[in-house]
Amino acid sequence: MAKQPVDYEKQLEHISEEFQMVRILDEEGNVVNEDIMPDLSDDELVDLMKWMVKSRTLHERSTAFSKQGRLGFYAPTYGQEASQMASIYASEEGDWLYGGYRDLPQLIYKGLTYEQGFLWSRGHVNGNDAGVKAMMPQIIIGAQLIQAVGNATGQKLKGEKNVTFTYTGDGGSSQGDSYEAWNWASRYKSPVVFVIQNNGFAISTPRYKQTAAHTLAQKAVAAGIPGIQVDGNDALAVYAVTKQAREWAAAGNGPVLIETVTNRLGAHSTQGDNPKLYRTQEDIDMWMAREPLIRFRAYLENKGLWNEKMEEEWVAEVTEDINQAIKDAEAQPKQKVSDFLKSMFANPGQNIKEQIEQYEAKERE
């Protein structure tokens, strides 16, 4: 029999070997890879930790508010603090952000107020304008990637040196929108940093049921762009990888796809999901021991840069701000049906105009 032109098993093995996970810190916070240690000052390391703790505190308070009926949709971020905050920490002023519904912490980093975030969750029209170089979270899974490519292509055409950051999850990477976005960005060398937060589950569907690919990072190969997998619970590794990707994109080389391997340590959302119905307690406990704050906290404590008192004081300060923000959001004027119609249609037809008049008359009663 003639020799086959392609050794398929060898090819698949080669791809698996190429996309090895990047790591700097182990689970105990020890440095295991000095070669790619990022150039962050002590002050910057502490600042990054404070952003991660802020994200955790926002998660805890938002979960409580949701249970109290004070928020609408909320997607927990517990366990993804390094994946989210260390990656956006590598962005620069002028960079854009297009996130999904689990990416409010990155929007807060970009300048969104807590109050705006809460209004967005409550479906209030005043929560729709970020007021910063970012779009409010996209609810349609994966759609933000295509929008981000359009924005980045515009940046390139204008001659800007900034990039666009966009996030989705492992579930989003299975959407057709993602493949279209990667392909378009590759063809036009759009300055985009794609971050796939592989948190293990697309709602209740585990990652292994979504794709046979050994990694999600290797999906970049078909689009002709660089792809890299990083330990998403290792803040230093996430920052180092994202910083390099941003520099690549800003230099005009085109996009980069980053897979951050992390875990969603809670429900998909506060709208009735129960993760214990589709995952084991052993799996949850394993990932709890690997969660990012434990690791980064140990690293900073060993350097004498962080301690329990500092964290308690910071949590208290952040909690006070968040508690005031939910009160401010609740104090906003209640929305009217007439306002919904006015916001929806820039040029309302006669039938819509009549409905607006009818509702305004009722609202005046």
- Give, as one character, the DSSP assignment of residue 168: E
350/130 Cα distance (integer angstroms):
31
Known catalytic residues are 264, 268, 278
176/196 Cα distance (integer angstroms):
14
Residues 43/21, Cβ–Cβ less than 8 Å: no
Residue 111 falls in which region: left (phi positive, over 0), alpha (psi -120 to 50) or beta: left
Q: State the CB neighbour count (10 A cutoff) for residue 108.
A: 20
211/220 Cα distance (integer angstroms):
14
Phi, psi of 83 (to 5 degrees): -60, -40
First CA to last CA across the chain, in angstroms? 88
Residues 270/63, Cβ–Cβ less than 8 Å: yes
Give me Rg for the CA atoms of the chain: 22
Phi, psi of 200 (to 5 degrees): 95, -25
323/58 Cα distance (integer angstroms):
10
Residue linked to tokens 């990083």 = 230
99/107 Cα distance (integer angstroms):
8
Amino acid type, 195: V
Residue 197: strand pairing partners? 169, 260
* Pairing between β-strand 256-261 and β-strand 227-231 as defined by DSSP bridges: parallel
Tell me the CB-side half-sphere exposure of residue 140, using CA atoms within 13 A. Answer: 9
Q: Concatenated DSSP letters for 12-33?
A: HHHHHHHSPPB-SB-TTS-B--
110/87 Cα distance (integer angstroms):
12
